[in-house]
Amino acid sequence: MLKMGIITGFLSRTKDRFHDYNVPLELDQKFELMTKIEGYDGVEIVFPYEVNDPALTRRLLEKHRLNVAAVNVNVKAEPEFKNGGLTSHNPDVRAKAVRFIQEAKDFAAAVGADKVTCCPLGDGYEFSFQYDYARTWKYLVETFGAAGDYLPEIPLFVEYKPSETRGRCFVDSAAKTLCLLNDIQNRKMGVTLDFGHSIYGNEHPAEAVVMLAESPYPYYIHINDNDGKWDWDYFCGTKHYLEYVEFIYYLKKYAYSDYMTSDTSPTRWDIRGTFEANSRMTNKIWQRLEAVDGGKLEALMSRGDYLATWKFIEAELLGLK
C-alpha cells in the first residue's frame, strides 16, 4: 500500500459561496473519522487555525495511531495579509508572515512532523500596473528564504497555485517555484505539487513531476482532480484519468515514497467514500503499472510511434481488449 494522507480540514464542515457541507468536527473527531477510512494513516493539519497546541495534537495522534504527513501553515487569513503577507510592502507584515511559518516549524518539530508546506495564496495581483514584479519577487526570495533557513531539519515546501485568493498568484507554476528555490539556494526546501493546481494552471502534471524529480529539491504530492477551469478538488481520475495514470507512472519511475495527500473536498459526496475512492484508484493504478509495464512504456515512447503506445494503453491501462 502507498502512503496516503488527508488534509483534515476536509473531514469536517466545508463551505462555498452558497452552501455548507457536512458537519463541524473537533480535532479528536476528525482523527477518529480518519481511522475509519481505509487506506490512510497520514494527516496534513493546518496551523495555526486548526491546530496550535502541540501537546494535545501529539496525544491525539498517538491515541488514533496516525502520522503527520505535513503541517500546512496558513499565511492568508490574518487581516494584515489580505493584500499579501510575504510580499507586503510593509516590513512588519512580511515579518509576521515569516514568523507564522517559523512557528509552524516549531509546531511540526514538537508533534514529530518532517515538513511544513505553505501555499502563498494571498500573495498575487489582479490588474496591470498593480505591483512592481521585480520588487515582489525579491520579497518572496527574502521571506521564504528566512523561513526556510529557520529550523532547517524541518524543511519548508512551497505549494504553487495559479489563483485564489488573488486573481493570479505570484507563485503559480512548478517552473516558477523552482526559479524561486534556485534564487534562495536552500537545498533543504522543496515543492508541493498539487495535481489539480497543475491541471487548471495548464501544466501537464506528469511533466511537472519530472521537472521536480530531476531538480535538486524534494517534492511532496497532493492528489485530486478538476475540470481544468477551476480547483474543484474532485476525487482522483474523474476528469483526467489518463493524465493521472501518467502522473502515477512518473512518481513510480522516480521511486516517490512520501505521502500522497488527498486535497479533495467531499461536498455532495460521502466523506469516507470520497477519500477511499482516492486511495483505491491510486493504489490500483500503481499496482496495474507494476503488473503490466516492466519497462514497456518507456521502450514504446523511445520508439516514437504513438499508435503503438496507444495500443498498449488501450489494452493494458484502459482494459479494452
Mark 59-98 as b/e (b = at least 16 C-beta within 10 Å).
Answer: ebbeebebebbbbbbbbbebeebebbbbbbeeeebbebbb
CB-based contact 5:42 (threshold 8 Å): yes
What pLDDT, on a 0 to 100 scale, did the predictor assign at position 285? 98
Q: Residue 79, preceding bond cis, omega within 30 degrees?
A: no
CB-based contact 140:181 (threshold 8 Å): no
What pLDDT, on a 0 to 100 scale, did the predictor assign at position 1? 83
Q: What is the pLDDT of residues 233-266, one digit of tens each?
A: 999 999 999 999 999 999 999 999 999 999 999 9
At CA 278, angle to CA 227 and CA 201, rounded to 5?
30
What pLDDT, on a 0 to 100 scale, did the predictor assign at position 17? 87
How far is Cα 291 from Cα 94, in angstroms, rounded to an integer? 50
Determine if the pTM surpasses 0.85: yes
**How high is the mean pLDDT in each 10-residue block of the chain (321 residues)?**
96 93 96 97 97 98 98 94 96 98 98 98 98 98 98 98 96 98 97 98 98 98 98 97 98 98 96 98 98 97 97 97 88
Domain 4-289 sits in CATH at 3.20.20.150
Grid cell digits, residue 320: 479494452
Domain ranges for the chain:
4-289
